Amino acid sequence: MEQREIKLIQILKGHGGKINSIAYDSLNQHLVSGSNDSTVRIWDFFLGTQLRQFKYHKSAVNQVQILANNEVVVSCSDDCTVIFQNILTGELLLTLKSHSGGVMLVAVDLNLSLAIGSTSNQTALTI
């Protein structure tokens, strides 16, 4: 097996807690991160600068995903919510609330079908 050296390009600073999830858009222009500090942050991939900070969640953000159109970020949290927000404007587009526990995993396909996973009660939900 070939070994390759990993080169650190830059460090992105801003979160006040452990980072739980990162995602790139399909154009590699933006990086999105979700953290225990309950924020979702949008970063310029090339400049390494923070562009936006979303504070819609009330607890740790467990996962982030950028939809295929590169305009919407989906995030899920221990606060039992899945949130859709516009990556460019920061506008809150949709909030889904789970009554059964924190949302650990979220997946959205090209048809906007949504799958949610929760570890607090070991359930999965597809919408």
In a domain, 11, yes or no: no
Asked if the structure places residue 113 within a domain, the reply is yes
Asked if the structure places residue 13 within a domain, the reply is: no
In a domain, 122, yes or no: yes
pLDDT for the residue numbered 77: 93
Q: What pLDDT digit, counting tens, does each position of 6-15 carry?
A: 887 778 888 9
Sheet holding 72-77, edge to edge: 61-66, 72-77, 81-86, 92-97
pTM: 0.83
Domain for residue 3, yes or no? no
The domain that holds 101 is classified in CATH as 2.130.10.10
Q: With a cut of 50, which residues of the chain have pLDDT below it?
A: none
Instruction: Measure the CA–CA gap between 52 and 64, rounded to whole angstroms.
Output: 14
Residue 120: per-residue pLDDT: 60
- Structural domain span for residue 56: 19-126
Total structural domains within the chain: 1
